[in-house]
Amino acid sequence: MAASIHHSIWSLRPSSTQRSYCSSKKLISTTGCWNNIVFKSNSKGRMQSNRNKSDMRPKRSNCKENSSTDVEIGERLYLGMDFGTSGARYAIIDKEGIIHSEGKKDYPLLLSDGSVDWVQSWKTTLFSLLEAIPITMRSLITSISIDGTSATTLILDRETGEALARPLLYNESCPDALPIVKSIAPSNHTVCSGSSTLCKLLSWWTSNPNHSNKESAVLMHQADWLLWLLHGKIGVSDYNNALKVGYDPELESYPPWLKSQPYSSVLPTVQAPGTVIDTLKEEITTKLGFPNDCVVCTGTTDSIAAFLAARATQPGKAVTSLGSTLAIKLMSTTRIDDARFGVYSHRLDDKWLVGGASNTGGAVLRQLFSDEQLKELSKQIDPMEASSLDYYPLPTQGERFPIADPKMVPRLSPRPESDVAYLHGILESIARIEAKGYALLKDLGATEVEQVFTAGGGSKNDKWTMIRERVLGLSVSRALHTEAAYGAALLALRATL
């Protein structure tokens, strides 16, 4: 079973906010507490208790990328790495959750036979990140974890580690395998999508009927594979990444309908996120100066790591990500899975992270306004006044959540003469879609939302935040941390508790 919720990092609750510093020997931090684990105030930065609402928002560090702070002798540090769609980041924290170093690397454009060689690109980036960590901190790293894009799939030879096919990325679909998957999986199961890991596995299996390496093949997700490069035990995954290949995190096993398939031998073993796998390879510790007892633990997906970073840890707490699209994730005591709406649940100890994603969001705003226009027009909006305009902002035809309609067309008219009124109407309409999304999760049986944290570029628009508070009828605030690498670092810390 997964670690008890009582001792889990998922129960982290923000309690207050501390100023950020970049100068030597001062820590970049936000403070809070996890049940029995207290986030202590840095003596270099005093806590201020009499702040108004705007002052209580998280302070952003002015440090540039690859920034770092001095650490005390004997400090134990925890490394998290996030491998996203275009690049990777790292974050190093201490036991109090204070960030001591951060950095990022873009993926190098490495080509093989005219296409991107993602295997070499990811591997190169992984070791570039490790080499970017300040030498003085490497010897203090106690544990490491990594998150990766969900459903990014690799098929490897279990004996040699050689890739048997090119990686299939998170957004690639295998419609050829979908009818077969739907015929064996329960109705509306998470795997019943062409982009699911199971569809990718089945597509490879059926397209290589006489492949000599089938018996020794093993499936690994992006995070699994990257972690394997560090610890050397092939075929180990976590139950967040394994969800879309059909693993049942509630039963802690693959279901009978999947285990009976001829390709079940390719499935990885699964453990809870943040579980120690093994120590870091000796050649890595020797070359880069990491301690011999540094452990590598199971990871998670990038979206789960970002949720963990936001510290929305109690049932009823939620995170809305306002990027190009609108995605919501809600901590629930009840598991909800319904492929009709793109709703599925990830396990977090004894709770469930229920989510859905709409096609509305920042991409629509970018089609209509420049960044400067958005900034200036937003200043003129009265967020306490309801807009009478009723839009359904979409960048193109098709919606996934909370209405599942691939033929839905954008509704962005009538357009008033005032650009301020037009933007107001769009922002409020997106807020209504967000509210409908949380209402749908409740109707499907999830815990009712009580508080919303916001991540993504939209979290910076204070007027939009106030509009959303009014429409949702809930407290809405910016997340304390938004980088998935921070969430991965929390997993690395979890492994040592």
Choose among 305, 279, 332: nearest CA to 479: 305
Q: Are 87 and 105 within 8 A, CB to CB?
A: yes
H-assigned helices in 139-255: 178-184, 197-207, 222-231
Residue 40, classed as helix, strand or coil, is coil
pLDDT of residue 213: 80
* Alpha-carbon span 217 to 160, nearest angstrom: 10
Q: Are 39 and 99 within 8 A, CB to CB?
A: no
Q: Which residue did the predictor score with more confidence, 25 or 172? A: 172
Note the pLDDT tens digit of each residue in 403-417.
Answer: 878 789 999 999 999
* Alpha-carbon span 200 to 348, nearest angstrom: 25
pLDDT of residue 393: 97
- 83 pLDDT above the threshold of 70: yes
Tokens (6 digits) for 119? 């295997």
Average pLDDT over residues 458-487: 94
Share of the chain above pLDDT 70, in %: 85
- 309 pLDDT above the threshold of 80: yes
pLDDT of residue 476: 96
Residue 484, classed as helix, strand or coil, is helix
Q: Are 92 and 98 within 8 A, CB to CB?
A: no
Share of the chain above pLDDT 90, in %: 67
Cβ partners under 8 Å of residue 477, min gap 6: 57, 451, 452, 453, 454, 465
Q: Are 359 and 394 within 8 A, CB to CB?
A: yes
Tokens (6 digits) for 451? 């508080």
- 227 pLDDT above the threshold of 80: yes
Note the pLDDT tens digit of each residue in 320-363.
Answer: 988 888 989 999 999 998 878 888 899 988 999 999 888 899 98
Q: Are 357 and 434 within 8 A, CB to CB?
A: no
Chain length of the chain: 497
- DSSP structure class, residue 106: E
Choose among 153, 144, 150: nearest CA to 274: 144
Note the pLDDT tens digit of each residue in 148-177.
Answer: 998 999 999 999 999 999 999 988 889 999
* Alpha-carbon span 497 to 491, nearest angstrom: 10
pLDDT of residue 338: 86
Average pLDDT over residues 244-260: 96
- 394 pLDDT above the threshold of 80: yes
* Alpha-carbon span 340 to 409, nearest angstrom: 19
Q: Dihedral of the CA atoms 490, 492, 496, 497 (nearest 10)?
A: 20
**Average pLDDT along the chain:** 85
Q: What is the pTM of this model?
A: 0.78
Average pLDDT over residues 61-89: 75
Choose among 329, 262, 270: nearest CA to 300: 270
